[in-house]
């Protein structure tokens, strides 16, 4: 699971060394698009493949022509990727297994409260993880990644340790929702942003490796929580997860190094720039990602409780979320490889269509009383977990680069941050809306699943419209 703001040097389109932006496959396609002039950039960047294992530079490099160069590898660069992987494991790995906490707390500490009320805790957590990114980006540029990772890591460990003393609803809201959400944003945002300091041509590959830590964490934490809570209790389960996070964030702090010099954090970069939505394709893409996040968090949050509802064992129910995240590892790598060849908008549209089909054809039938009584609901749920996990793996990883295709490279950081301020509203409201739907449907999941289907359908329409708006109807099949 896994998305937050980046610095000005973050994920965006690649360019020729002359400064012209490449549309991922060829410049020929760029000049065929309507509004191709908007893709022109004045900056200069240059990738330098560096196979050195020692002697890596850790400062900003420029060649004789004044172009910024990137190591594209070497010991220091790959150690930074490893550190980023560790931070993603500890931060987004937890977000990818919200379902286990939602299911456990709903059956134990928060049992007297409604599904909708409980969902607000996780909605606030997800909202802050995205919303705070607009402030984290400029701080990253000014202070570097290490102070942010330190604060985010300590905050994550603290909220996990405090969970054992939480007994009331507002305790969990402050601890999990508020402290956990802010800590996640502090830790995750710089972890992905720093990779862009060392890679340009191979940035997608490097970011894919780093962000896979989130999926691996989403596999490990549900298994660890289920085993520890069953044998040692909830308190020890959260303590053990906190210890794992302490180690991973500690390694991330030691391994991650900044490369580019500091930038002064100005006020205009701390607030969203809503003027970007005058650009029709950007507005449509943002709405597409908004609806995508609505649909994505529904299975991640409710699949475990759904499995318990269809009489799967607690062990198997927690395992479903691990299956989703295990499949998402391949769902990040393979679509990422395809995106460089088929186009990143095209690949995202295809994978969102796959998510829509899997929810409608596998998850919806699994909740049918006839299927449940017939004993095949568990098989459908397992198949859905694997296939949806693969299809949804690229939802978060491709969204930033799709935004990057629609803006100038030097405006990417603020454009992405502004877009995700809007998107964060979906993460705040989506989970509670589904909780209310579940309550109105008397605990049956058909309404919640229908909402997921509608959300993904709306996302598909908006993203397709964004591509058409940018490229034109005559280039509807273009690689973009």
Q: For residues 160-198, b (16+ Cβ closer than 10 Å) or e, as one string?
A: bbbbeebeebeebbbbbbbbbbbbbbbbbbbbbbbbbbb
Residue 35: the pLDDT is: 34
Q: What pLDDT digit, counting tens, does each position of 106-144 carry?
A: 888 898 888 888 889 998 998 998 888 777 777 777 778
Least confident span in 89-103, 265-279, 348-362, 434-448: 265-279
Is the pLDDT confidence value at 47 over 50?
no
Tell me 21's DSSP state.
B
pTM: 0.76
Q: Name residues whose C-beta falls within 8 Å of residue 442's C-beta, 6 or more positions apart in sequence.
A: none
How many C-beta atoms lie closer than 10 Å to residue 333's C-beta? 19
Q: What pLDDT digit, counting tens, does each position of 314-354 carry?
A: 888 888 888 998 998 888 878 877 877 788 889 999 999 99
Q: How far apart are CA 103 and CA 75, in angstroms?
A: 42
Q: How far apart are CA 91 and CA 152, in angstroms?
A: 8
Given pLDDT bands bounded at 50, 70 and 90, which one contains residue 372?
Answer: low
- Angle CA(191)–CA(195)–CA(201) in degrees, nearest 5? 155
Mean of pLDDT over the chain: 79
* Report for 34-43, 254-263, 282-291: range of highest mean pLDDT: 282-291
What is the helix (H) or strand (E) element at residue 253, kind and residue range? helix 234-255
H runs (alpha helix) in 278-363:
280-309, 314-342, 344-358
Domain 27-475, CATH number (from 3.40.50.1820, 1.20.1250.20, 3.40.50.2000, 3.30.465.10)? 1.20.1250.20
Given pLDDT bands bounded at 50, 70 and 90, which one contains residue 175?
Answer: very high
Q: How far apart are CA 370 and CA 355, in angstroms?
A: 24
Residue 310: the pLDDT is: 87
Is the pLDDT confidence value at 262 over 60?
yes
Residue 428: the pLDDT is: 87
Residue 14: the pLDDT is: 38
**Per-residue pLDDT averaged across 242-252, rounded?**
94
Q: Spell out the domain ranges in the chain.
A: 27-475
Cross-strand bridge partners of residue 47: 70
């Amino acid at each position: 699971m896994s998305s937050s703001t980046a610095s000005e040097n973050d994920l965006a389109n690649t360019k020729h060394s002359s400064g012209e932006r490449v549309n991922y496959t060829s410049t020929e396609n760029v000049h065929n698009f309507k509004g191709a002039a908007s893709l022109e950039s004045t900056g200069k960047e240059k990738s330098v493949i560096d196979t050195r294992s020692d002697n890596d530079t850790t400062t900003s490099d420029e060649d004789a022509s004044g172009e910024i160069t990137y190591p594209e590898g070497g010991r220091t660069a790959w150690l930074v990727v490893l550190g980023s992987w560790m931070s993603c494991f500890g931060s987004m790995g937890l977000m990818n297994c919200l379902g286990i906490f939602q299911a456990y707390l709903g059956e134990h500490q928060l049992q007297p409260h409604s599904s909708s009320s409980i969902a607000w805790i996780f909605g606030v957590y997800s909202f802050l993880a995205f919303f705070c990114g607009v402030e984290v980006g400029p701080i990253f540029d000014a202070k570097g990644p290490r102070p942010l990772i330190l604060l985010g890591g300590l905050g994550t460990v603290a909220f996990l340790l405090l969970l054992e003393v939480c007994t009331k609803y507002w305790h969990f809201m402050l601890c999990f929702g508020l402290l956990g959400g802010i800590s996640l944003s502090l830790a995750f945002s710089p972890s992905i942003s720093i990779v862009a300091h060392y890679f340009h041509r191979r940035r997608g590959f490097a970011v894919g490796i780093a962000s896979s830590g989130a999926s691996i964490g989403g596999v490990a934490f549900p298994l660890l929580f289920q085993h520890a809570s069953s044998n040692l209790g909830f308190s020890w389960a959260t303590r053990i997860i906190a210890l794992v996070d302490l180690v991973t964030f500690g390694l991330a702090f030691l391994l991650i190094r900044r490369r580019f010099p500091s930038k002064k954090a100005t006020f205009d970069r701390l607030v969203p720039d809503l003027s970007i939505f005058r650009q029709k394709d950007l507005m449509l893409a943002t709405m597409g990602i908004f609806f995508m996040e609505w649909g994505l968090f529904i299975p991640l949050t409710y699949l475990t409780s759904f499995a318990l509802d269809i009489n799967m064992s607690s062990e198997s129910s927690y395992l479903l979320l691990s299956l989703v995240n295990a499949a998402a590892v391949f769902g990040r790598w393979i679509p990422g490889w395809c995106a460089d060849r088929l186009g990143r908008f095209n690949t995202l549209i295809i994978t969102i269509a796959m998510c829509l089909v899997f929810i409608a054809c596998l998850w919806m039938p699994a909740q049918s009383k006839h299927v449940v009584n017939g004993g095949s609901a568990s098989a459908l749920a397992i198949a859905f977990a694997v296939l949806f996990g693969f299809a949804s793996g690229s939802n978060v990883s491709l969204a930033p680069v799709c935004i990057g295709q629609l803006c100038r490279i030097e405006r990417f950081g603020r454009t992405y941050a502004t877009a995700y301020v809007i998107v964060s509203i979906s993460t705040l409201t989506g989970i509670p809306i589904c909780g209310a739907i579940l309550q109105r449907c008397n605990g049956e999941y058909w309404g919640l699943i229908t909402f997921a289907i509608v959300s993904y359908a709306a996302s598909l329409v908006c993203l397709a419209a964004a591509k058409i708006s940018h490229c034109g109807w005559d280039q509807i099949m273009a690689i973009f």
